[in-house]
Amino acid sequence: MTVLRYSAFTVPPAPGAPAGGGNPAGVVLDASGMGDAEMQALAAEIGYSETAFLLPGGDREYAIRYFSPQAEVDFCGHATVATAAALAEHLLGAGELLLHSKAGDIPVLVEQGERGMRATLRSVAPSAAELRDDDRAELLGLLGWTSDDLDPALPCGLAFAGIWHAILWAGSRQRLAALDYDFEGLKALMLERGWGTVSLLHRESESRIHSRNAFPIGGVVEDPATGAAAAALGGFLRAHALLPADGGFEVLQGEDMGQPCRLEVDASGDGGVRVSGTARRIDG
């Protein structure tokens, strides 16, 4: 069995240098015959926040499963981008793909760009919901935040585009940079509520958002780039009439981890949210 390793949502390179940053993911292009326990064990061995396992179907069509080191998740954006790049480079070339995830069908367009393979996924239809006052208070306590740390101009809440994410807006970039939370406490709350990540955000402008995504249920403190959360955020901003006029914005994530990532989001229209990024192979 071959495990490919790709970094997704890489950032533009410095002059004369390769693309940098990104969130690594494992990709198994043919997981036929692998059971759940075997997939889980391999994901734990690889140690990335997600590893994707493909089961070939029709023409340019695959079932896909995603495993963190500790659990299976229904949808993962950065592993989807990594998978699309791997398929394009090793089997199919550029073009359209259809991935059948537990969250629903995920169409992906993969193209050869100036900085390597570029993939655009379209999420399932997004949803938004209110965050209960008691959950908000518990979240703030687990994070070591207070209400004064929040941006009063932006709504907290819950967002969905395959999995649910709690949404909190930091009032300053400095508050976002200082992340130190109760790992086990937040994990327990997320498991109880069915949240995939907690999205901690700061809005620099309408078209640029800084993000950190706490991911204790996956066995890691945070994810360097979270395409599923970016898609959910696009739906959340759409639901609250907070999108730029063209519906597009960028999410900068991983900066405080030394793994800068760039996710391009297009939430225009009324269907699934499109999330784009580049990917490169990281194991030769």
d(CA 213, CA 257): 11
Phi, psi torsion values for 82, nearest 5 degrees? -60, -45
Query: Contact, 8 vs 23, CB < 8 A?
Result: yes
Helix (DSSP H) and strand (DSSP E) numbers for the chain: 6, 17
Q: Which residues contact 17 (CB under 8 A, 6 or more apart)?
A: none
CA distance readout (Å), 27 to 78, 123, 145: 11, 20, 37
Question: Which sign, positive or negative, has the C-alpha torsion 90, 95, 98, 103?
Answer: positive
Question: Which sign, positive or negative, has the C-alpha torsion 172, 268, 261, 207?
Answer: negative
Is residue 114 annotated as a catalytic residue, yes or no? Answer: no
Specify the residue for token string 């495990």.
3
Query: Contact, 76 vs 213, CB < 8 A?
Result: no
Specify the residue for token string 């949808």.
75
Query: Contact, 278 vs 10, CB < 8 A?
Result: yes
Query: Contact, 180 vs 194, CB < 8 A?
Result: no
- Name the catalytic one among 38, 50, 61, 96: 50
Locate the DSSP E strands across 231-273. Answer: 248-253, 261-266
d(CA 67, CA 238): 29
Query: Contact, 168 vs 179, CB < 8 A?
Result: no
Catalytic residues: 50
